[in-house]
Amino acid sequence: LQQPLEVHARRLGSYIAEMMGASGAPWTTDTRTNTTDRRQPIKLANGRTALAADRFSAHHCAWHSVDRPREKVGRRFKLDDCRVWMRLLFWAVRDSGFDERTDVFRYLQRFICHFIAIYETTARPFTLLESRWSADARNTDAYISGRNGAAHGGSARFMDDVVDVPFRVAIERVPPHERSLDAWLYDSAKILWK
């Protein structure tokens, strides 16, 4: 990846902290004052470069990244992208010592459930399913070892049970009571929004 993962992690962490009510508006302040990340041009698949100056331009760079498979360059995030991202995000949170028993994890489940629909409206029902994925070491071990990407050249960074799986097939893996999360999400709105 052209930008270190720490750059994205810091931006996302600052955004979540600000949404949780952190003083000093860390994401807004960083977006206005930190020009370090935005001075580093990102190479795009079309040979051009762009700057990641805010959330939209950062996502534009991701959609057109040289790191994306050629057939997906320029494509906005779809269901499979969102599901993979949720798995990796909740794995990182779990790896940091937070799980379903903690308020932080439960807050992030609702936070992600609310905001993931901005990127792909069909992704919301998968939030709880994908948040549980990393609780099973067999899943993370298979991802790291490449066993789950055998059909795609054995890539350790491929989730063949998610990538290119259409919604009508994927939704069958979601427990029926989780297919509509609006009541669960918005009945708890007072927890999310101050």
Task: Give φ, ψ of 42 to 5 degrees.
Answer: -100, 130
Q: Which one, of 171, 170, 147, lies nearest residue 159 by Cα?
A: 147
Average of per-residue pLDDT across 126-148: 90
- Asked if residues 10 and 17 have their Cβ atoms less than 8 Å apart, the reply is no
Residues 43, 2: Cα–Cα separation, whole Å = 8
Residues 39, 26: Cα–Cα separation, whole Å = 20
Q: Read off the pLDDT of residues 88-133 as tens digits, 9 standing for 90 and up.
A: 999 999 999 999 999 999 999 999 999 999 889 999 999 999 999 9
Average of per-residue pLDDT across 13-37: 76
- Asked if residues 109 and 68 have their Cβ atoms less than 8 Å apart, the reply is no
pLDDT band at residue 135 using 50, 70 and 90 as cut-offs: very high
Angular region, 32: left φ>0, alpha ψ -120 to 50, beta rest? alpha
**pLDDT value at residue 176:** 94
- Asked if residues 123 and 116 have their Cβ atoms less than 8 Å apart, the reply is yes
Residues 98, 6: Cα–Cα separation, whole Å = 19
Count, in order, helices (H) and strands (E) of the chain: 10, 2
Q: Read off the pLDDT of residues 30-75 as tens digits, 9 standing for 90 and up.
A: 777 765 555 678 889 888 888 877 778 878 888 898 888 888 899 8
Q: Regarding predicted confidence, which is higher, 97 or 9?
A: 97
